């Protein structure tokens, strides 16, 4: 057996394997979906990083507008400052949560009951949008690993502190503008959608 021919064969197989891997990676990132999937998003979705945590300062809301504010859970205050329908077929809801409980709050019951959502830790993954008129409930969007397209409150929120959050959902029909935002045992927050850029 000629070792020179064996090395050439191995190099050729390695090149084929690397090329195939690169093609599969590009195809996987290329999208091509119709954007109607309940569990994923289309490639045009400008999803925010799931590595955001409650401690980091996220960008400030564009205005001081408060769409809704609800109080519950022993002193927690949830404020919704933005609810925008985006061209990619999804809705982004943003706001703040203020911890007036006097102790560290870890958002344990905000992550949702689904087994897939347990990977998200203390987060707003269990949030939903409810269309009373259309009688539909929209769950938070997730990536292919089951991670929510939402804020994770890593390390919790200290007593007396506030932190910003965001959550992305599939968009309801274009004629639906009023929805209820619901998370954990907080009362529903009635919000009105605006059109994104």
> For residue 111, what pLDDT is reported?
79
> For residue 79, what pLDDT is reported?
94
Is 189 within a domain?
yes
Phi, psi of 14 (to 5 degrees): -65, -45
Considering the domain architecture, whether residues 73 and 8 belong to the same structural domain is answered as: no
Is 148 within a domain?
yes
Cross-strand pairs, 136: 131
> For residue 171, what pLDDT is reported?
93
What is the CATH number for 140?
Answer: 2.60.40.1240
Is 109 within a domain?
yes
Considering the domain architecture, whether residues 171 and 91 belong to the same structural domain is answered as: yes
Considering the domain architecture, whether residues 5 and 90 belong to the same structural domain is answered as: no
Beta-carbon contacts of 98 under 8 Å, excluding residues fewer than 6 positions away, are 76, 77, 79, 161, 162
Considering the domain architecture, whether residues 20 and 80 belong to the same structural domain is answered as: no
Considering the domain architecture, whether residues 86 and 141 belong to the same structural domain is answered as: yes
Beta-carbon contacts of 133 under 8 Å, excluding residues fewer than 6 positions away, are 176, 178
Is 87 within a domain?
yes
Considering the domain architecture, whether residues 84 and 164 belong to the same structural domain is answered as: yes
The DSSP letter of residue 58 is P
The pair of structure tokens assigned to 60 is: 């400030």
Question: pLDDT truncated to tens, each residue of the chain (197 aa)?
Answer: 555 555 555 555 554 445 455 444 444 444 444 444 444 433 334 444 444 444 444 344 445 689 999 998 788 999 999 999 998 899 999 999 999 988 998 887 787 777 776 677 788 888 999 999 889 999 999 888 888 889 888 888 998 999 999 999 999 998 899 999 999 889 999 999 988 76
Considering the domain architecture, whether residues 113 and 17 belong to the same structural domain is answered as: no
Is 44 within a domain?
no
Is 6 within a domain?
yes
> For residue 96, what pLDDT is reported?
94
Which residues span the domain enclosing 10? 1-30
The structural domain count of the chain equals 2
Q: What is the DSSP string of 76-140?
A: EEEEEEEEEEETTTEEEEEEEEEE-SSS-B--GGGS-S-GGGGGG-SBSTT-EEEETTTTEEEEP
Is 49 within a domain?
no
What pTM was estimated for this model as a whole? 0.65
Q: What is the DSSP string of 145-171?
A: TS-BSB-B-TT-B-TT-EEEEEEEEE-
Considering the domain architecture, whether residues 17 and 74 belong to the same structural domain is answered as: no
Beta-carbon contacts of 95 under 8 Å, excluding residues fewer than 6 positions away, are 61, 67, 78, 79, 80, 81, 82, 164, 165
Is 60 within a domain?
no
Residue 188 C-alpha from the chain's centroid: 19
């Amino acid at each position: 057996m000629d070792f020179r021919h064996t090395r050439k064969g191995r190099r050729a197989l390695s090149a084929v394997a690397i090329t195939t891997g690169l093609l599969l990676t590009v195809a996987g990132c290329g999208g091509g979906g119709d954007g109607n999937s309940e569990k994923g998003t289309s490639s045009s979705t400008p999803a925010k990083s799931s590595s955001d945590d409650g401690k980091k300062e996220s960008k400030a809301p564009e205005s001081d507008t408060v769409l809704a504010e609800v109080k519950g859970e022993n002193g927690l205050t949830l404020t919704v400052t933005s609810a925008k329908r985006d061209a990619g077929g999804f809705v982004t809801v943003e706001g703040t949560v203020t911890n007036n409980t006097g102790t560290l709050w870890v958002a344990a019951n905000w992550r949702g009951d689904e087994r897939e959502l347990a990977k998200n830790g203390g987060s707003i993954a269990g949030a939903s949008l409810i269309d009373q008129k259309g009688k539909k409930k929209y769950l938070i969007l997730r990536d292919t690993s089951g991670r929510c397209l939402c804020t994770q409150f890593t390390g919790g929120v200290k007593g007396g502190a506030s932190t910003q959050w965001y959550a992305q959902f599939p968009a309801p029909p274009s004629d639906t503008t009023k929805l209820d935002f619901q998370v954990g045992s907080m009362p529903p927050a009635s919000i009105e959608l605006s059109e994104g850029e």
